[in-house]
């Protein structure tokens, strides 16, 4: 009996020992039990580690960073001494949840790590700087680098400076060097390059590209410089935000590259603007070009405008027999055929160049059938195009600011282009005999006045439906005169009515919108767009 009990105890102890070995295993070099069953290990050249490790310290070899993804619980890792810098930087960036530390040995022998914010690399030559440009991006905390002062004849090459800046665009580099005999620092806001030659352009451009605070560059004057426009372009490309101070003469006018406006009006040119076109790419601050009366064709001027969309290009156009305006005009009043000549499609086509027009009156010409020029007037607010034989008003869809529109006495038959003009408040479609449908207007619920008159054949049911769509809109369907029935005149003053028998004269009370219209166009002063009324017209008399 005793013997059997002893045997049972021994068996129990043996089984317990086996279980302990299975789950604890032999102790490792730290004295901790190394698991034998249930914990996988990942092997590196520097050793193996359990996959459930929360921290790692080892020197990695190139290609081993991929193994780090096998540690799902990893929280911190120190890879100091590893040489695969780019791989480490890439892995650390992709795993921000892990606190990664590693060191980087720089070309001058100094050692930085992932927490380094400032560096002194003042002893580097150009070759060392080029090598550093490959390493510095691996230091995620880096903010500033001191490159020192260039020794006589030993300045860092433009290639090296540019490589550093391109590699670390967010890092501030401090470096003093000599350029054209003048001391320059990468921190400077201005630099004087007077005396620069074509052969020095490449190095100068590379240096400028590394000056983040640069605001102005002085190049001197045309008569004292030995470089080309292409050289200037290379310098500007290096620091596009800087203003370049360079004086030159263009068609007898003194010009500077930093000018915001180029005024060449009343200069007779014989090259269709070629000389102007040649310098505009380098006038990077220019906002306005005035070429009024320069003897350059509309086509050539349009080409300049299209090629330099950031510059407001202004010139003069002519239409009719006496009408002339500058292309930046905001008002055109050309509704007097007796003096300005009857305008037809060919003559009004040039108005497409007047892209700033807000107020346009071309009524009473009786010959305009093509309104395509209006497509180029996105700022148009008031349009009077009445008493012309056109039928297609689709160009008006490009005028989202249109507020006042007179289309009466025309051949229009489709109002669909007006359906999206939400700013439209006053619309006159009287005496339009081909128009039978106003349903495109149903969505214009903010209309204030809709003049249909007694001649335009709109179905009564559509008129009533329109009243429901725009309940505050005054709709006229009985005026024979398209401009009658309160469109312009709302009545007569009480005093003039009392004195009518004595004076035979009645003083009209104008509709407020018509009063404003007279101001906008200058009707009272007959401010037509005749060339002799233009204060900026100083050319030869016609």
Q: What is the pLDDT of residue 28?
A: 45
d(CA 505, CA 503): 5
Neighbouring C-beta atoms of residue 322, cutoff 10 Å: 18
The CATH code belonging to domain 313-533 is 3.80.10.10
> Distance between CA atoms of 16 and 25, rounded to whole angstroms?
13
pLDDT of residue 539: 53
Chain centre distance of CA 70: 46
Question: Which of the 8 DSSP states describes residue 150?
Answer: P
Hey, how many other C-beta atoms are within 10 angstroms of the C-beta on 147?
24
Residue written as token pair 């590394």? 210
Q: What pLDDT, on a 0 to 100 scale, did the predictor assign at position 507?
A: 84
Segment holding 183, helix H or strand E: strand 182-185
Structure tokens at 134: 């490959």
- Residues of the chain falling short of pLDDT 70: 1-38, 500, 539-542
Gap between the Cα atoms of 112 and 15, Å rounded: 55
pLDDT of residue 29: 42
Query: Which pLDDT value is given to residue 142?
Result: 97
CA within 13 Å, CB half, 442: 9
Q: What are the domain boundaries of the chain? A: 313-533
pTM over 0.85: no
Over the stretch 59-71, which tens digit does the pLDDT of each residue have?
Answer: 999 999 999 999 9
Given the DSSP bridges, would you call strands 41-44 and 47-50 parallel, antiparallel or unpaired?
Answer: antiparallel
Rounded Cα–Cα distance for residues 437 and 57 (Å): 83
Per-residue confidence (pLDDT) for residue 20, from 0 to 100: 47
3-class DSSP state for residue 381? coil
Q: Which helix (H) or strand (E) holds 129?
A: helix 126-135
Three-state DSSP at 477 gives coil
CA-CA-CA-CA dihedral for 293, 295, 299, 300, to nearest 10? -100
Question: Dihedral through CA 293, CA 373, CA 309, CA 400, nearest 10?
Answer: 130
Residue 464: how many other CB atoms lie within 10 Å: 10
């Amino acid at each position: 009996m005793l013997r059997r009990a002893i045997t049972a105890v021994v068996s129990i102890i043996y089984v317990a020992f086996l279980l302990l070995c299975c789950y604890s295993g032999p102790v490792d070099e730290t004295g901790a039990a190394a698991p034998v069953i249930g914990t996988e290990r990942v092997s590196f050249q520097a050793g193996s580690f359990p996959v459930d490790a929360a921290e790692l310290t080892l020197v990695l070899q190139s290609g081993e960073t991929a193994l780090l993804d096998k540690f799902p619980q990893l929280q911190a890792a120190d890879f100091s001494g590893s040489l695969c810098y780019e791989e480490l930087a890439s892995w650390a960036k992709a795993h921000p949840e892990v606190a990664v530390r590693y060191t980087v040995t720089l070309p001058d022998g100094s050692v930085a790590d992932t927490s380094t914010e400032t560096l002194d690399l003042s002893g580097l030559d150009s070759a060392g700087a080029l090598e550093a440009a490959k390493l510095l991006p691996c230091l995620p905390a880096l903010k500033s680098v001191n490159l020192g002062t260039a020794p006589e004849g030993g300045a860092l090459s433009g290639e090296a400076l540019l490589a550093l800046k391109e590699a670390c665009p967010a890092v501030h580099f401090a470096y003093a060097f000599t350029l054209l005999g003048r001391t320059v620092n990468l921190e400077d806001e201005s630099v004087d390059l007077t005396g620069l030659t074509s052969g020095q352009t490449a190095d100068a451009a590379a240096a400028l590209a590394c000056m983040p605070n640069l605001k102005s560059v002085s190049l001197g004057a045309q008569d004292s410089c030995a470089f080309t426009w292409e050289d200037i372009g290379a310098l500007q490309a290096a620091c596009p935000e800087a203003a370049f101070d360079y004086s030159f003469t263009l068609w007898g006018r003194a010009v500077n590259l930093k000018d915001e406006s180029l005024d060449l009006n009343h200069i007779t040119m014989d090259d269709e603007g070629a000389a102007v076109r040649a310098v505009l790419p380098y006038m990077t601050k220019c906002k306005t070009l005035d070429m009024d009366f320069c003897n350059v064709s509309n086509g050539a001027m349009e080409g300049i405008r299209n090629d330099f969309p950031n510059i407001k290009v202004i010139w003069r156009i002519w239409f009719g027999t006496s009408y002339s305006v500058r292309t930046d005009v905001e008002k055109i009043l050309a509704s007097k055929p007796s003096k300005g000549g009857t305008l037809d499609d060919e003559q009004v086509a040039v108005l497409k160049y007047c892209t700033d027009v807000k107020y346009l009156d071309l009524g009473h010409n009786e010959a305009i059938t093509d309104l395509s020029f209006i497509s180029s007037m996105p700022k148009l607010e008031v349009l009077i195009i009445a008493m012309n034989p056109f039928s297609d008003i689709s160009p008006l869809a490009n005028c989202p600011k249109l507020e006042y529109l007179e289309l009466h006495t025309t051949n229009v038959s489709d109002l669909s282009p007006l359906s999206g003009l939400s700013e439209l408040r006053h619309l006159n479609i009287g005496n339009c005999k081909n128009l039978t449908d106003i349903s495109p207007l149903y969505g214009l619920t903010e209309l204030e006045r809709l003049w249909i008159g007694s001649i335009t054949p709109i179905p009564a049911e559509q008129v009533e439906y329109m009243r429901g769509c725009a309940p505050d809109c005054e709709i006229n369907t009985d005026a024979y005169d398209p401009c009658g029935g309160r469109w312009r005149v709302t009545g007569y003053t009480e005093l003039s009515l009392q004195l009518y028998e004595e004076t035979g004269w009645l003083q009209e009370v104008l509709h407020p919108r018509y009063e404003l219209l007279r101001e906008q166009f200058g009707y009272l002063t007959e401010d037509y767009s005749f060339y002799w009324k233009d204060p900026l017209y100083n050319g030869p008399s016609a």
